[in-house]
């Protein structure tokens, strides 16, 4: 038996030595009585020593320890002996004897005591951890570099645990939001940092991407917790899934883009000033040309009267009227992208507007027109005339870009922000349901250099264009609380996308009754500060058979109104100009009239289409409104609408 053990022992020692070599872990033993140090072969290898006889004492071992670490090692070892600790461990550096290379090692030691409790032997292991230390150093440097990069770029990172709904963030996120580690890392804690203007839209967008399990990409405003400063941030993330393809966490970044937003705003102001200069020049040029035509034809008509060539007068006046109509249309177009031109909204289907407008523009054209319009298209709250103008301009724009022919496709579909993947990536849109109308052409496309200015007023690349069409489109859609997007590829065509919010009500009735000239024998009071207009509009009414009384301001109109009632001959219709410089205008006048009579037919009249009374006259006591300048047939349409004759 003893012989078997004696034969087995060398084999086990060889196996132990082999295991130490594989794990790069050496062993050692120090006899404190004889101060004899014994190392394993792997320990010699770790220290870079070939001669196993050269390290035989504790002192010879210390010579291999890095000079800066010797004191620490000796102190640790001696304290463990003196305090009779069972064990200790530490990390220190060594200098390999054969290569002079500095290596890191980890030592662990246990002590053995004799029967009297005196430590007589120390047994330990030593492991080369240089690679681990190098990895840790590289990781620290990488983390420092990342931290510095995040600080410079104002980008923080985070992870959101989708099971616990808690999040971990980098230091830069704390800095961006002005919070520290003690701030609640919860959904409610985060939402309390959002600016009130962005809270509802953020929650709606967040909930929609959560339901759809889509990445987050959104810009929003926050109120920094530390100083209450308003900041803009851009958040992006990606989703991590488990082995069952279930989302487990979101990993993302948050960047402070406040300075970028300020730069964009400043650039926008500069571009607006440039556009304003172009706009002013364009208005002056176009109106001067139109006025020259109007004055010229009127002058010719007057000359014809003087020379008794009466047969030419109707032609000259007709041409002057055409020029006037063009001037009026230009004025309306300008109002659509000014602060005025507010739409008169009505819940209706867009289908007839889209079809009729597109077909009218394309009548007689060699270009194909294709529709892809679903019967179940949701209704929208729109101004029919303005929306027709949008379709007119976009289809005309497409038509003019296709001199070689091809197909224009007009399509529409229902969309909801509950499915954000249906919208362009990164598009910020208010939550809700939308109708997307697309006008796609096969023209030459738009140069990338021109795309940023494509909606600027009077910006055009067409020789015969005035640069108002797309500016009007943008302004009208914006006033409808909608959005305009475009994609274009040179040589392949352009697509315009209109996103219009839907209406909860459906009313697609249109007043299509024919407007016929009719007699109106009512008693009419006209108030206007311009004498020429009082005469002109009075003539309109007289032509229909009405009796007309005129007033220059509100006080005069009220006096005439009261006098007529006193004589038991009240007015049947009152038309009030809203703006009377230095006097009582229509708004103040109607308030006093309604205190006396709540039923008399009253019409608001103004050249300021932006006045809310003109878009919602019923809210202010009027029955209807009529924008200046208006023609005789406009007045008849209004009367027929209100008198039901």
Residue 23: pLDDT above 90? no
State mean pLDDT over 420-439: 88
Residue 398: pLDDT above 80? yes
Query: Minimum mean pLDDT among 165-169, 278-282, 433-437: which range?
Result: 278-282
Whole-angstrom Cα distance, residue 317 to residue 305?
A: 12
pLDDT score recorded for residue 276: 60
pLDDT score recorded for residue 515: 42
User: Tens of pLDDT along 455-498?
Assistant: 776 566 665 555 567 888 888 898 888 999 999 988 889 999 99
CA distances from 311 to 120, 296, 300 (A): 137, 17, 12
pLDDT score recorded for residue 329: 66
Highest-confidence segment of 18-22, 376-380, 468-472, 624-628: 376-380
Q: What SS3 state is found at 529?
A: coil
Residue 55: pLDDT above 50? yes
Which residue, among 182, 237, 171, 245, has the nearest Cα to 210 in the 3D structure?
Answer: 237
Highest-confidence segment of 145-154, 368-377, 450-459: 368-377
Residue 639: pLDDT above 80? yes
State mean pLDDT over 290-305: 81
pLDDT score recorded for residue 510: 40
Per the model's pLDDT, the better-predicted residue between 247 and 52 turns out to be 247
Per the model's pLDDT, the better-predicted residue between 582 and 7 turns out to be 582
State mean pLDDT over 438-446: 92
CA distances from 362 to 1, 161, 356, 368 (A): 110, 56, 10, 8
pLDDT score recorded for residue 365: 85
Q: What is the 3-state secondary structure (H, E, C) of 294-346?
A: HHHHHHHHHHHHHCCCHHHHHHHHHHHHHHHHHHHHHHHHHHHCCCCCCCCCE
pLDDT score recorded for residue 264: 78
Share of the chain above pLDDT 90, in %: 37
pLDDT score recorded for residue 19: 59
pTM: predicted TM-score of the whole model, two decimal places:
0.42
Whole-angstrom Cα distance, residue 338 to residue 471?
A: 10
pLDDT score recorded for residue 469: 75
User: Tens of pLDDT along 347-376?
Assistant: 889 999 999 889 988 887 889 999 999 999
Residue 611: pLDDT above 80? no
Residue 377: pLDDT above 90? yes
Angle formed at CA 607 by CA 277 and CA 571, multiple of 5 degrees: 175
pLDDT score recorded for residue 587: 92
Residue 401: pLDDT above 90? no
User: Tens of pLDDT along 500-510?
Assistant: 999 754 444 44
- The model's confidence at residue 286, banded by pLDDT at 50, 70 and 90, is low
72: how many CB neighbours lie within 10 A of its CB? Answer: 14
Angle formed at CA 573 by CA 572 and CA 574, multiple of 5 degrees: 130
pLDDT score recorded for residue 278: 61
Residue 211: pLDDT above 50? yes
Evaluate whether 427 touches 405 at the Cβ level (below 8 Å).
no
Residue 579: pLDDT above 80? yes
Whole-angstrom Cα distance, residue 330 to residue 579?
A: 22
The string over 600-621, giving b where at least 16 C-beta atoms fall within 10 Å of a residue's C-beta and e elsewhere, is bbbbbbbeebebebbbebeebb
State mean pLDDT over 277-288: 65
Residue 69: pLDDT above 90? yes
State mean pLDDT over 261-283: 68
Per the model's pLDDT, the better-predicted residue between 108 and 456 turns out to be 108
Highest-confidence segment of 360-364, 426-430, 587-591: 587-591
User: Tens of pLDDT along 305-350?
Assistant: 877 777 888 888 888 887 787 777 667 666 655 545 567 777 889 9
Per the model's pLDDT, the better-predicted residue between 363 and 511 turns out to be 363
pLDDT averaged over every residue in the chain: 84
Query: Minimum mean pLDDT among 238-242, 302-306, 573-577: which range?
Result: 302-306
């Amino acid at each position: 038996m003893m012989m078997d053990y004696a034969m087995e022992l060398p084999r086990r020692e060889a196996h132990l030595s082999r295991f130490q070599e594989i794990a790069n872990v050496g062993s050692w033993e120090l006899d404190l009585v004889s101060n004899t140090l014994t190392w394993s072969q792997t320990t010699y290898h770790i220290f870079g020593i070939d001669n196993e006889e050269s390290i035989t004492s504790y002192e010879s071992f210390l010579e291999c320890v890095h000079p800066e670490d010797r004191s620490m090692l000796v102190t640790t070892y001696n304290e463990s002996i003196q305090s009779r600790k069972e064990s200790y461990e530490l990390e220190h550096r060594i200098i390999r004897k054969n290569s002079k290379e500095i290596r890191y090692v980890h030592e662990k030691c246990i002590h053995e005591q004799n029967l009297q409790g005196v430590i007589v032997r120390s047994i330990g292991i030593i492991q080369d951890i240089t690679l681990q230390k190098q990895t840790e150093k590289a990781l620290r440097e990488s983390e420092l570099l990342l931290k510095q990069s995040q600080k410079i770029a104002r980008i923080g990172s985070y992870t959101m645990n989708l099971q616990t709904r808690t999040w971990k963030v980098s230091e830069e996120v704390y800095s961006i939001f002005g919070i520290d580690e003690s701030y609640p890392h919860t959904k409610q804690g985060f939402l309390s940092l959002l600016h009130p203007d962005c809270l509802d839209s953020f929650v709606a967008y967040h909930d929609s991407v959560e339901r759809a399990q889509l990445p987050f990409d959104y810009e929003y405003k926050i109120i920094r917790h530390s100083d209450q400063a308003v900041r803009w941030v851009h958040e992006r993330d990606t989703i991590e899934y488990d082995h069952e393809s279930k989302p487990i966490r979101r990993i993302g970044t948050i960047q402070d883009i406040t300075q970028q937003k300020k730069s964009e705003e400043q650039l926008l102001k500069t571009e607006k000033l440039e556009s304003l200069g172009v706009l002013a020049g364009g208005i002056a040029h176009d109106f001067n040309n139109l006025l020259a035509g109007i004055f010229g034809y009127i002058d010719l008509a007057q000359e014809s009267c003087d020379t008794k060539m009466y047969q030419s007068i109707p032609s000259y006046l007709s041409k002057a009227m055409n020029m006037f109509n063009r001037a009026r249309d230009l004025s309306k177009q300008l109002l659509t992208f000014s602060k005025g031109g507010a739409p008169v909204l009505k819940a209706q289907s867009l289908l007839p507007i889209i079809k009729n407008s597109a077909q009218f523009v394309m009548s007689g054209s060699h270009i194909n027109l294709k529709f892809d319009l679903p019967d179940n298209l949701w209704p929208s709250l729109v101004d029919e005339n303005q929306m027709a103008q949008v379709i007119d301009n976009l289809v005309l724009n497409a038509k003019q870009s296709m001199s070689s022919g091809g197909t224009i496709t007009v399509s529409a579909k229902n969309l909801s922000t509950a499915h954000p993947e249906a919208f362009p990536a990164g598009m910020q849109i208010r939550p809700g349901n939308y109708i997307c109308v697309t006008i796609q052409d096969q023209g030459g496309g738009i140069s990338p250099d021109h795309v940023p200015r494509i909606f600027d007023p009077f910006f055009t690349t067409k020789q015969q264009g005035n640069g108002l069409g797309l500016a009007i489109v943008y302004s009208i859609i914006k006033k409808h609380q909608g959005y305009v997007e475009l994609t274009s590829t040179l040589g392949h065509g352009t697509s315009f996308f209109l996103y219009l919010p839907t209406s909860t009500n459906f009313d697609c009735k249109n007043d299509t009754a024919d407007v016929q000239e009719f007699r109106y024998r009512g008693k009419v009071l006209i108030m206007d500060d311009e004498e020429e207009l009082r005469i002109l509009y009075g003539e309109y009414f007289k032509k229909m058979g009405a009796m007309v009384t005129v007033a220059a301001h509100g006080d005069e109109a009220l006096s005439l109104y009261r006098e007529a009632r006193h004589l038991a001959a009240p007015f049947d219709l009152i038309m009030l100009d809203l703006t009377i410089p230095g006097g009582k205008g229509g708004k103040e006048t109607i308030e006093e009239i309604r205190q006396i009579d709540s039923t008399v037919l009253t019409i608001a009249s103004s050249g300021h289409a932006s006045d809310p009374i003109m878009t919602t006259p019923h809210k202010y006591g009027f029955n209807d409104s009529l924008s200046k300048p208006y023609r005789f047939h406009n007045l008849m349409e209004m009367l027929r609408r209100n008198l039901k004759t």
